[in-house]
Chain A
Amino acid sequence: MGLAGIIFVNIFSWLLISFGVGLPLLFVLKAIGLSGFKEITRFEKHESFYYRLNPVTKIAMSIIVMIISAAAIWWVGAILTAAIALSYLTLRDGKRKFLLAVYLTITIVVGVAWGYAPFTPPVVLAIAPHTHHFTTLWTWPSYFSYMGYVPGLTLQSVIYGLQISMRFTAISLASLLLVMRSTPSEILRSLNKFGVPIAFTFSIVVAMKTIPRIFEAMDAAIKIQFMRGLGSKSFRAFRSIYYLIAAMSSIVPVLVFILRGARNTAISADTRAFRAYDRMTYMKPISFSRADYYSFAVMLLIVVTTGIAIVSGFGRALPYLS
């Protein structure tokens, strides 16, 4: 291979990596956006079939989807993904939610497939039945092996990556469906019924309430930066890069904002006697026992004895006499 060939292989390989990392990110930012994430991570009141179900049934449905997707063959996951995505149409503002679900699915499929394909060795792929011949799509430069890349990207590894992604899509959509159709309070009470410890349930509920707020705050922080002139000196084509810059700059203030909110949550929880067990802040009635009376008698005896001793001339000891 000549110098031009080596340069081409290197540039194209890095472009492929960027595609794998960049496309999901671009989809997340452009198609869904932070406001889209806010929409699919919070509860909105509605009256369709899903909302009327008992919260226990909703949680059980999500768990069943998780177990089936993780255990069954890939196409079961694909069917579940399609079915759950279609069920988004029954949610409030269903068409938009369905569209967001489709975008999210594409993001997960590309992200997961690209996360698996270049790293899956032929030994793993050979376990699948009838897979002994591999079609090499691209050969990475040798130094890519330092990043854990298998030397050749094969068609079979890409297919394997796509198949694996079906597990993630079904699970993600099912989890979001649970969040969108249940109030945090419903989740709290249902998990308590299952006997899940209150501290664990409380953490989940706080997360459920906080995640949409994080997206909302990030979205506002990014938009305000653009209003304040970020990226106004450059071309619109670079807007995505500035979007990333704005997102990075927003992390610290948003984190501070959320932590300040967390303090208020902690105070609220304390004032409602959260985790007020015997060992912690339980209010015990304080009464005098026999031992207390004996102790008081001893203390009184000491005071009286000291008084008598002082009166008898044993008050100040010799070293203190001036």
Chain B
Amino acid sequence: MGRHIAYIPQAFDIVLINSTVEDEISYSMRKRSGTSRKQLREKTDYFLKMFSLLEAKDRDPLTLSFGQRRRVAMASALSSGARVVMMDEPTSGQDFYHREILGKELSSLRNRRYSFVVVTHDARFVYRHASRMMVMDYGKKVMEGTPEECFTESGKYGIIPPSDFLIRCG
């Protein structure tokens, strides 16, 4: 399953176990068979470029800035070959600016045929960046659909729609 699905925890720092960004990104490829040395280098470079980490490739991931560390965690998750990435509360403790950056990163990766399953309480983030949403209540599915559809009906379940949605609906 690990080949197809990657997981980035809320505290993504705990994923960063290698001493350089380059090693961190190539970790999965090194641990799994079937990747030649040349492919390893090419793929690592590809992900370094994709996440704008080329300049930081020799640095210790734990010494990078918050945004860079998150990008390293995402790059190492995707480099495992996974096309589906599960993220736990990726927006927690972040301001609007950083949430927008994350949302744009995810949207850009979605265009490259990656899928993200995001667990979050941030309705605004979901409304602005998700293509589909599912509302869970104590482990049970309550609603499923596009954010527009769900937030239109969400009042029934006591869920307050985000301000963006309310403004748009007038």
Contact = CB atoms under 8 A, between A and B. Distances in A.
Interface of A: 217-218, 220-221, 224-233, 249-250, 252-254, 256-257, 260
B11 A257 contact: yes
Nearest to A231: B31
Contacts of A221: 14-15, 17
Contacts of A220: 9, 11, 14
A257 B9 CA distance: 12
A45 B80 CA distance: 39
26 contacts: A217-B14, A218-B14, A220-B14, A221-B15, A224-B7, A224-B15, A225-B17, A226-B2, A227-B80, A228-B2, A228-B6, A228-B28, A228-B31, A228-B76, A228-B80, A229-B2, A229-B29, A232-B31, A233-B31, A233-B32, A252-B17, A253-B14, A256-B13, A257-B11, A257-B13, A260-B13
B17 A253 contact: yes
A183 B29 CA distance: 44
A229 B3 CA distance: 8
A260 B14 CA distance: 12
B62 interface: yes
Contacts of B15: 221, 224, 253
Q: Is the interface of A mostly helix, strand, loop or mixed?
A: helix
Given A228-B2, A232-B32, A252-B17, 7 more contacts: A217-B14, A220-B14, A226-B2, A229-B31, A232-B33, A253-B13, A260-B13
B1 to A, nearest CB: 8
A253 B13 CA distance: 6
B17 A229 contact: no
A228 B13 contact: no
A195 B32 CA distance: 57
Interface of B: 1-2, 5-7, 9, 11, 13-17, 27-29, 31-33, 62, 76, 80
A218 B32 CA distance: 22
A229 B28 contact: yes
Report the 3 A-B pairs with minimum CB-CB distance, sorted nearest first. A229-B31, A227-B2, A229-B32
A227 B4 CA distance: 10
Contacts of A231: 31
Contacts of A230: 31
Contacts of A224: 7, 9, 14-15
B31 A256 contact: no
Contacts of B9: 220, 224
Nearest to A221: B14
B78 to A, nearest CB: 11
A219 to B, nearest CB: 10
B62 A252 contact: yes
Contacts of B17: 221, 225, 249-250, 252-253
A228 B27 contact: yes
Contact of B62 (A226, A232, A253): A253
A217 B12 CA distance: 10
Contacts of B16: 253
Given A224-B7, A227-B6, A230-B31, A257 B14 contact: yes
A187 B9 CA distance: 30
A224 B5 CA distance: 11
A225 B30 CA distance: 12
A225 B7 CA distance: 10
Contacts of A233: 31-33
A225 B15 CA distance: 8
Contacts of A232: 2, 31-33
Nearest to A254: B14
A73 B95 CA distance: 60
Contacts of A250: 14, 17
Most chain B beta-carbon neighbours within 10 Å: one of A217, A253, A260:
A253
Contacts of A218: 14
Contacts of A217: 11, 14
A228 B1 CA distance: 10
A231 B13 CA distance: 22
A231 B28 CA distance: 11
Nearest to A264: B93
Nearest to A260: B13
Nearest to A257: B13
Contacts of B80: 227-229
Contacts of A225: 17
